[in-house]
Every structure is written in C-alpha cells, then in structure tokens.
C-alpha cells in the first residue's frame, strides 16, 4: 500500500516570489510520482511526472520537481509564481504494476498581488 | 488535443435514486478509471477497468456501484441507491495501453449532489 502526505494545506505567496509545495510518500515498491493541478471548477491536469531517470523533472507552466529517494520526497517548485497559478495542487503516486493513483490531500496555492 | 469528456457536469438526485455518470475516454486509451473527491477532501480511487472487466477496486466501491462500457466509447459509473454521503465530484480518467511511460488523463468531473 502507498500513501502520500502533503503537509501544507494552504500556501499563500506573493506574485513573483518562489514557491515550494512539499510532498512525501511511502511505498514498499518502486513508484511513479505525479503532480496534478486543479484550477477552480475544473478537472485535474498533469503538471509533471517522474517515472525514472533524472531526478529533476520539468513540467508545464514553469514548474519543476525533484525526486529524492532517500527522503521519499517529490517537492514541487516554481521560481516565480503568477496570479494565474492560484489553484489546488495534488501529489500522487502509483506503483509500477498497480497503476491506480493514490493522491495526497492537496495544497491550495494562493498567489497574492 | 484529445480529452476525456464527462456528462453531466452537475447532477442533483434524491437519496435512494439511481444515477449514471457518463464518460467518453480518449479514443485509443484502454485503461479506464473512476475517482471521487468529496468536498474539501482528497481524490480517492474507486475502480479501474481494462479489457471489459474490473481490474481493481477500492473498499469504497461496494455493491451499490457498478461500471460498464456499453458501446465501445462510453464508460459509465452507476450508483444504484444513492446516499447523502455519495455527494462528491466524480472524475473519470483514461490511459493508453501500458508502455510503462504513460499517465492518466482526467475529465472535468461530474458534481453529484444527493439531497
């Protein structure tokens, strides 16, 4: 069984400031890791994914995340946020065989002018 | 760009009634999923479907739930006798045949309100 922990339920940040959204996971097997974004009243959109290879992955909208196996983390970062980045961000994990996603509880990023 | 389509976007139903939530997955995808998100809570896996059968289901997916792919394009979730606690956003997702390098694409969701 897997689990995902997003410690920060809300992250307020000013426009053009950097941001890091934290994600930790637990699993007894190798995993794939994902970050999804949910804009208000919309569905889930994939931001980026880690399957294998380089531990630093780049996604859409200037986001990137780093896989740290020893710390079982997959934190999401953006060097300079915009108002339009205001949304709910979900970290998710699946094992390489099972494929169904286990989601974290989400982090609401609120970008203020 | 191909997308997963869900209908309706919002459904209100009385407790005890049956509801069917509809999804049209991306055309070349072969794995299908339903997830739900109760307001303010995390997204939870319900069921996965492949090759016309359920491949996995969670403990949430009890006997009141069923899934079907009736015509090769639609993928439906039926709740036989709705309860108040079934009120949630229901997301459909689909994925290509496993090449070990694919992710699930989600629909916009159906907001189910049971009154």
For B48-74, write each residue's pLDDT tens digit. Answer: 999 899 999 999 999 999 999 988 789
pLDDT value at position B98?
63
- pLDDT value, residue A76: 98
Q: Give the side-chain half-sphere CA count within 13 A for A103.
A: 22
Q: Is the CB of residue A83 less than 8 Å from the CB of residue A17?
A: no
- Which two tokens mark A43? 């569905």
Residue A44 and residue B41: Cβ atoms within 8 Å?
no
What is the spatial distance between Cα A34 and Cα A36, in angstroms, rounded to a whole number? 6
Instruction: Encode pLDDT of A54-92 as tens digits.
Output: 899 999 999 999 999 999 999 999 999 999 999 999 999
A39, two tokens: 């804009």
State yes or no: cis peptide before B8, omega within 30 of 0: yes
User: Is A111 within 8 Å of chain B by CB?
Assistant: no
Q: Are strands A107-112 and A10-14 parallel, antiparallel or unpaired?
A: parallel
CB contact under 8 A, A101 and B48: no
Of B37, B39, B115, B47, the residue nearest B76 (C-alpha)? B47
Is the per-residue pLDDT at B44 higher than 70?
A: yes
> Given this model, what pLDDT does residue B103 score?
82
DSSP collapsed to 3 states, A22-84:
CCEEECCCCEEEEEEEECCCCCEEEEEEECCCCCEEECHHHCEEEEECCCCEEEEEECCCCHH
Q: Classify burial at B9, counting beta carbons within 10 Å of its beta carbon; exposed 0-12, middle 13-18, buried 19 or more.
A: exposed
- Of A12-26, B1-15, B23-37, B95-109, the one with minimum mean pLDDT is B95-109
Using DSSP's 3-state secondary structure scheme, residue B102 falls into coil
Residue A52's pLDDT band, with cuts at 50, 70 and 90, is confident
Q: Is the CB of A80 inside 8 Å of chain B's CB atoms?
A: no
Q: Which of B22, B31, B114 is nearest to B75 (CA)?
A: B22
Question: For residues B29 and B106, what is the distance between their CA atoms, to the nearest angstrom?
Answer: 12
Nearest CA among B89, B88, B97, B79 for reference residue B26: B97
| Tokens of residue B55, six digits | 């491949």
Counting Cα atoms < 13 Å in the Cβ hemisphere of A85 gives 29
* Closest Cα in chain A to B4: A43
The answer to whether A101 and A4 have CB atoms below 8 angstroms apart is no
Contact criterion met (CB < 8 Å) for A105 and B45: no
- The predicted-structure confidence for B80-104, as pLDDT tens digits, reads as follows 999 999 999 999 999 887 655 568 8
Q: In this complex, which of A96, A100, A104 lies closest to B33 when CB atoms are compared?
A: A100
Six-digit token string for B109: 């969701």
Report helix, strand or coil for A113. Answer: coil
């Amino acid at each position: 069984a897997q689990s995902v922990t997003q410690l920060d339920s809300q992250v307020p940040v000013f426009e053009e400031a950097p941001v890091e959204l934290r994600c930790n996971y637990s699993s007894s097997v190798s995993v794939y890791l994902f970050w999804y974004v949910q804009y208000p009243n919309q569905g889930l959109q994939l931001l980026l994914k880690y399957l294998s290879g380089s531990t630093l992955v780049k996604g859409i909208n200037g986001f990137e995340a780093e896989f740290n196996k020893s710390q079982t983390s997959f934190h999401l970062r953006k060097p300079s946020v915009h108002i339009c980045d205001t949304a709910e961000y979900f970290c998710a994990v699946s094992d390489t065989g099972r494929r169904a996603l286990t989601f974290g509880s989400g982090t609401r990023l609120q970008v203020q002018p | 760009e191909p997308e997963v389509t869900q209908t309706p976007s919002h459904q209100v139903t009385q407790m005890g009634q049956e509801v069917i939530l509809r999804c049209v997955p991306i055309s070349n995808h072969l794995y299908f999923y339903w997830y739900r998100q109760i307001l303010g809570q995390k997204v939870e896996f319900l069921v996965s479907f492949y090759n016309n059968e359920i491949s996995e289901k969670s403990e949430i997916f009890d006997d009141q739930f069923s899934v079907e792919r009736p015509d090769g394009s639609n993928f439906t979730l039926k709740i036989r006798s709705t309860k108040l606690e079934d009120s949630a956003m229901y997301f459909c997702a689909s994925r290509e045949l496993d090449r070990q390098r694919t992710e699930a694409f989600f629909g916009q969701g159906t907001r189910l309100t049971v009154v």
